[in-house]
């Protein structure tokens, strides 16, 4: 039985331990071979992508960080819109990063200990990756730490009000709007949240929420 199949049950997310950290890393190293559920590309018209590109605007020669990038599909599009910028694709799994474009910065690391100095990024975002951090407060603090004052952040993740719609790994956590908003407000002066769908002409069904923030 594959590791992901063994772990898909509905337990409350545990506390992070070295063993759990290793378990999560192994699961995503294995998942890198699953193109169906962990694809290398994404349609640039999808609102999850467009929201990030449009909220960040013209990054110029700035720096942006994709936290938990998977195969770098969002980072690839952000780089296409900002060819002068440095876009860093960061993921826990080295196997995921092998799929990321060569014109991206590629870094293997945990979102609980980002390997960057304070205030070096103009923007940072996490798309369906924060849910795997386990220590959510620490991960949000790290994202905010590496962003410059006035820099922008985006988190797109699943709404806890819809928990149970499908099976998840035992460590995964979904978020209520105010819960994650409160964590971002500890570090950011402006935080907003709204439901988001995949397509512009489709009303959000509540599964996904998008938090945007300015530090």
> β-strand 121-127 against 105-108: which pairing, if any?
unpaired
- For the entire predicted model, the pTM comes to 0.93
Q: Are strands 208-214 and 147-158 parallel, antiparallel or unpaired?
A: antiparallel
Give the number of domains in the chain: 1
Q: What is the pLDDT of residue 14?
A: 77
pLDDT (0 to 100) of residue 143: 98
CATH number for the domain that contains residue 61: 3.40.50.150
DSSP state of 84: T
The number of beta carbons lying within 10 Å of the beta carbon of residue 147 is 27
What range does the domain containing 210 cover? Answer: 3-214
CA-nearest of 175, 105, 111 to 142 is 111
**Ramachandran angles phi, psi of 76, nearest 5°:** -60, -45
Tell me which H or E stretch contains 140.
helix 136-146
CB atoms near residue 166 (< 10 Å) = 9
For residues 156 and 110, the answer to whether their CB atoms sit within 8 Å is no
Kindly give the confidence (pLDDT) of every residue in the chain, 215 residues in length, as a single tens digit, with 9 standing for 90 and above: 344 443 333 445 578 999 999 999 999 999 999 999 999 999 999 999 999 999 999 999 999 999 999 999 999 999 999 999 999 999 999 999 999 999 999 999 999 999 999 999 999 999 999 999 999 999 999 999 999 999 999 999 999 999 999 999 999 999 999 999 999 999 999 999 999 999 999 999 999 999 999 99
Secondary element (H or E) of residue 154: strand 147-158
């Amino acid at each position: 039985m594959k590791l992901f199949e063994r772990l898909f049950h509905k337990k409350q997310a545990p506390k992070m331990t070295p063993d759990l950290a290793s378990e999560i890393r192994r699961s995503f190293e294995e998942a890198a071979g699953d193109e169906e559920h962990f694809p290398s590309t994404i349609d640039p018209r999808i609102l999850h992508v467009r929201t990030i590109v449009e909220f960040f605007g013209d990054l110029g020669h700035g720096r942006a960080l994709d936290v938990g990038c998977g195969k770098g599909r969002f980072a690839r599009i952000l780089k296409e819109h900002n060819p002068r910028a440095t876009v860093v694709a960061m993921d826990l799994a080295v196997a995921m990063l092998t799929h990321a474009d060569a014109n991206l910065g590629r870094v293997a690391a945990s979102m609980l200990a980002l390997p960057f100095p304070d205030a070096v990024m103009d923007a940072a975002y996490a798309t369906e990756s924060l849910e795997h951090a386990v220590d959510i407060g620490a991960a949000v603090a790290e994202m905010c730490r590496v962003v410059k004052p006035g820099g922008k952040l985006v988190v797109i993740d699943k709404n806890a009000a819809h928990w149970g719609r499908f099976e998840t790994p035992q460590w995964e956590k979904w978020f209520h709007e105010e819960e994650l908003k409160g964590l971002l407000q500890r570090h950011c002066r402006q935080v907003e949240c709204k439901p988001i769908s995949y397509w512009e002409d489709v009303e959000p069904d509540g599964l996904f929420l998008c938090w945007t923030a300015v530090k």
